[in-house]
């Protein structure tokens, strides 16, 4: 996403002083802040919920590099690495010394809701429809929740859109991705950093000595592991 003049002006303002006045302003501010950053860093909590029941929760730090690269370092309850280097998507488990690898093109679905974090993409290219999620309660009083029906994706149908929550200054605080009718994956984000100094080697996977590399299909999302 290459922002137009309005979005660029919004981005050049001090992030802490920006406050959106309506829905359109808030979505533009979100696009501007994330689409204009070359690198991003955040702390995340990932929750896998089935039939309203929490099945698994994981936490760690995530790093993003334009275009199309990301690294998720899981710190609890287990240390794992999920990395997209632009060509392959890797999942490495130090506990069993195994690295699973699959071509990035076979992992497009789970990356679609996060496209704004790894490439210059507008919401209108990701969502066929986007609107306030009136039936969803935000995690904080001043936040706003939106429903996004993804374009050309097997993740979800219009009846079960991806939902994302934004703070009043355009920060992504939560992302909910329905996998099936009764299953959903939820990411909560805090401590966002814009354009931190990240070495490009952070987004390159070098198998540790003795690690076994397996070519195969990865889970649709970083946390969907049995």
Range of the domain at 127: 19-215
CATH code where residue 80 lies:
2.50.20.10
Q: Is residue 6 part of a domain?
A: no
Per-residue pLDDT of the chain (226 residues; tens, 9 = 90+): 333 333 322 332 333 333 444 788 999 999 999 988 999 999 999 999 998 899 999 999 999 999 889 999 999 999 999 999 988 889 998 988 889 888 877 665 555 567 778 887 788 888 888 999 988 899 888 999 999 988 765 554 446 788 999 999 999 999 998 877 778 889 999 999 999 999 999 999 988 888 888 887 654 444 444 3
pLDDT of residue 222: 46
pTM, to two decimals:
0.82
CA–CA separation, 113 vs 164, rounded Å?
9
pLDDT of residue 156: 47
Within 8 A by CB and 6+ apart from 12, the residues are none
Residue 13, H or E segment: none
Q: Which tokens is 189 given?
A: 């984000």
> Which residue reads 């986007």 in tokens?
130
CA–CA separation, 191 vs 109, rounded Å?
26
pLDDT of residue 153: 56
Residue 42, H or E segment: strand 39-50
Q: Is residue 87 part of a domain?
A: yes
Q: Is residue 54 part of a domain?
A: yes
Q: Is residue 9 part of a domain?
A: no
Share of the chain above pLDDT 90, in %: 42
Q: Is residue 222 part of a domain?
A: no
pLDDT of residue 192: 97
Nearest alpha carbon to residue 187 among 60, 51, 63, 38: 60
Q: Is residue 4 part of a domain?
A: no
**Alpha helices in 36-174, H assignment, sequence order:** 108-111, 115-118, 123-126
């Amino acid at each position: 996403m290459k922002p137009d003049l309005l979005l660029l002006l919004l981005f050049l303002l001090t992030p802490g002083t920006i406050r959106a006045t309506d829905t359109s302003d808030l979505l533009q501010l979100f696009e501007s802040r994330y689409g204009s950053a070359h690198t991003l860093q955040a702390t995340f909590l990932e929750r896998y919920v089935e039939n309203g029941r929490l099945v698994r929760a994981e936490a760690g730090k995530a790093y993003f590099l334009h275009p199309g690269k990301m690294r998720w370092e899981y710190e609890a309850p287990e240390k794992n690495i999920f990395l997209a280097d632009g060509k392959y998507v890797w999942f490495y488990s130090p506990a069993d010394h195994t690295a699973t690898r699959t071509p990035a093109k076979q992992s497009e679905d789970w990356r679609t809701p996060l496209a704004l974090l790894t490439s210059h993409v507008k919401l209108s290219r990701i969502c066929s429809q986007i609107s306030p999620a009136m039936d969803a309660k935000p995690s904080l009083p001043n936040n706003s929740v939106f429903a996004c029906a993804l374009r050309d994706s097997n993740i979800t149908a219009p009846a079960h859109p991806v939902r994302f929550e934004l703070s009043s200054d355009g920060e992504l605080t939560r992302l909910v991705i329905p996998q099936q009718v009764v299953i959903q994956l939820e990411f909560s984000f805090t401590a966002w950093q814009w354009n931190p100094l990240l070495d490009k080697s952070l987004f390159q996977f070098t198998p540790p000595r003795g690690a076994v590399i397996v070519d195969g299909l990865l889970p649709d999302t970083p946390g969907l592991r049995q």
